[in-house]
Amino acid sequence: MSDAQDKTEQATPRKLQEARQSGQVAKSADLNTALILLFMASFIWLTRGLFLNNISGFLAGFFEHVLSTQGDGTDFVQFFIRTSLQAFYVLAPFLAIPLVIAIGANLLQVGFLFAPGVLLPKADRLNPFNGLQRVFSSRGFFELAKTLLKIAVIGFVTYRLVRNQLPDLIEVFRCGTRETVMTIASFGTLILLYGGLIYFFLAIIDYVYQRFQYQKSMRMSKREIKEEMRQTEGDPLIKSQIRRRQRQIAFNRIQQEVPRATVVITNPTHFAVALLYEDKEMDAPEVTAKGAGEIALQIKKIARESNVPLVENKELAKFLYYKVEIGEKIPVALYQVVAEIIAHVYRLKGRTA
């Protein structure tokens, strides 16, 4: 059976986290492109008045200076600096918006992720055989089909838009600067809008596919899961031996301490706590053994065999089990209730507290 067929289990959180740290995440690059195109179209449409004034003023000033300039080199340098600043002011939104949207789209898909290891060269990326495998894999064919589909759809939509807008585009050559800019901006907005919608539709399909392929590539075999558990939690065989040893130590302590106890407080079925109090040697009762479930049953069994009184007090037994460790004195707040229990035990034994 091949490795791919062996990997039938869902990836563990640890493997997903390691893959994420190495930059392996499910995301669609088309979603970034779609959002950039849609936001750019929206920006141009919403700020078309300001955009029109800026670009018209820039072009008018540029051509006016070019056609009328008779200055020296200093005048040209000043003109170049001024024109460059104006061009940057006009083009700055078109440079900043794609950058911001690309970062936002990545955060939307995968959250904050810093994986410098992706930039490091790897031998398998330079291996031509591995490259051919990627090209002729199911992912490679999907990417090829997606690219051809994008070219076909966007080409068709662009053709229809150009054909419908052709009269206005031809008329541009007879118009002034303002009308020319408005016509080109409107046409560009339509191109961006339709392109963004096409990319967004393809991005949904692409993201579903990328997610499926990612989950498939992250699958693990039962052997890998066992190996990971061994690395993170230790060898199950060794852990079972440790637990067995711990139970044996606890049982030995119970056998030693319970017969010496003054009283055993029970829940009655869930918890059992052995208390020892020597009035001449101790200033407060001490927890000498405690247990839940099977250990509690074992404590009660040994107590009966050793004639140690069992007193049922659910709240006290639960509190002592969770709040007081073996070898510790009981808290001051319990002195009164425990003193009454020990006094009752002494009376049963015919002793005076």
Verify that 269 and 204 share a domain, yes or no: no
Question: Which pLDDT tens digit goes with each residue over 137-154?
Answer: 677 787 788 888 888 888
Q: Quick one: 271 and 172 in the same domain?
A: no
Residues 79, 187 within the same domain: yes
Tell whether the model's pLDDT for residue 352 goes beyond 50.
Answer: no
Q: 172 and 27 share a domain?
A: yes
**102 within some domain:** yes
> Of 295 and 135, which is predicted with more confidence?
295
Which of 199, 229, 259 delimits the end of a domain?
229
- Does 272 lie in the same domain as 206? no
Instruction: Return the CATH number at 330.
Output: 3.40.1690.10
Mean pLDDT lowest for which of 16-25, 168-177, 330-339?
168-177
What's this model's pTM, rounded to 2 decimal places?
0.51
Residue 38 pLDDT greater than 70, yes or no: yes
Check whether residue 188 and residue 273 sit in a common domain.
Answer: no
Q: What does the angle CA 320 – CA 325 – CA 328 come to, to the nearest 5 degrees?
A: 95
Per the structure, the count of domains in the chain is: 2
* Statement to judge: residues 107 and 247 lie in one domain: no
- Distance (Å, rounded) from C-alpha 201 to C-alpha 174? 38
- Is the separation of the CB atoms in 274 and 261 below 8 Å? yes
Domain boundary pick from 229, 251, 283: 229
Full domain range(s) for residue 75: 3-229
| Angle between the N-to-C axes of helices 335-349 and 314-323, in degrees from 0 to 180, rounded to the nearest 10 | 120
Judge if 245 and 318 occupy the same domain.
yes
